[in-house]
Amino acid sequence: MSVLIYGKNPCKEILLSEKPIIKAYLEKDQNSDLHSILTKKSTDITMLSKADFNLRFTGNHQGIVIEVAEYHLLTLDEATKKHEKLKNPTYLMLDGITDPHNLGAIIRSAEAGGITAIILPKNRSVGITGTVAKVSSGALEYMDLIEVVNLSQTIDKLKKIGFWIVGTEMNAPKKYTEIDVTTPLCIIIGSEGKGISRLLKEKSDYLISIPMVGHVNSLNASVSAGIVIFEILKQKGL
């Protein structure tokens, strides 16, 4: 199944990444720079008037939509083999993230913050959609994504190859600033409200929390992920 990528910046990253393009749709008299690149690539382009474009595509499309093949997600074995020579890789495991805006924002922060890969469950999780791509603002083209059937079994496999599993929990006594970054890490991020599942908490080597002093006692999943991601980056001295 193909994916429609909306917006100038995500489409520009598609062109830079050399990802195969099925078709491009452009609004007349818009994005002449990208039109030129697409033409040089001999891309199948459909030009539409502003009215026709808005009828066909909703949302903030900025006058350009590119259709690409669905994104290839790695298996856990493929990913760990690809990353085996890296020193202390860091994976994010997402548990119950069903909002494409959250996933897109997490991918954007993860790519900017040096996360090695993101683990997504095959079921009960949002897939890679045009909304995810747009919110990621191009970061999707550079982030390794791993699809697994069972998160619990994935943790067991990661532990066997030396990963430490760190769960996020609102009331955990250990703070996010106390993460040990001297080992391969897998950080589990849960959905807003529900958090991570009981089984994943039990399988974690330790749990961390983000202290809060306001009246609201939970953070958006992408915000929580961003805080932890950049704390890890800070501790690694990067």
pLDDT, tens digit, 9 for 90 and up, residues 167-214: 999 889 999 999 999 999 999 999 877 889 999 999 999 999 998 877
Cβ atoms of 171 and 212 closer than 8 Å: no
pLDDT, tens digit, 9 for 90 and up, residues 10-60: 898 888 887 889 999 999 999 999 999 999 989 999 999 999 999 998 878
User: What pLDDT score was predicted for residue 217?
Assistant: 64
User: What pLDDT score was predicted for residue 18?
Assistant: 76
Where are the CATH 3.40.1280.10 domain residues in the chain?
76-235
pLDDT, tens digit, 9 for 90 and up, residues 65-120: 999 988 889 999 999 999 999 999 999 999 989 999 999 999 999 999 999 999 99
CA separation for the pair 190, 172 (Å, rounded) = 14
> In this model, does residue 215 exceed pLDDT 80?
no
pLDDT, tens digit, 9 for 90 and up, residues 128-172: 888 898 899 889 989 999 999 999 999 999 999 999 999 999 889
> In this model, does residue 218 exceed pLDDT 80?
no
CA separation for the pair 65, 82 (Å, rounded) = 32
Please give the CATH architecture assigned to the domain spanning 3-68: 2-Layer Sandwich (3.30)
User: What pLDDT score was predicted for residue 66?
Assistant: 94
Where are the CATH 3.30.1330.30 domain residues in the chain?
3-68
Cβ atoms of 13 and 141 closer than 8 Å: yes
CA separation for the pair 24, 38 (Å, rounded) = 8
Helix H or strand E segment including 112:
helix 100-112
User: Model confidence at 2, in pLDDT bands (50, 70, 90)?
Assistant: confident
Cβ atoms of 131 and 100 closer than 8 Å: yes
CATH of domain 76-235: 3.40.1280.10
User: What pLDDT score was predicted for residue 216?
Assistant: 67
User: What pLDDT score was predicted for residue 103?
Assistant: 95
Question: pTM of the full predicted structure?
Answer: 0.89
Cβ atoms within 10 Å of 221's Cβ, excluding its own: 26
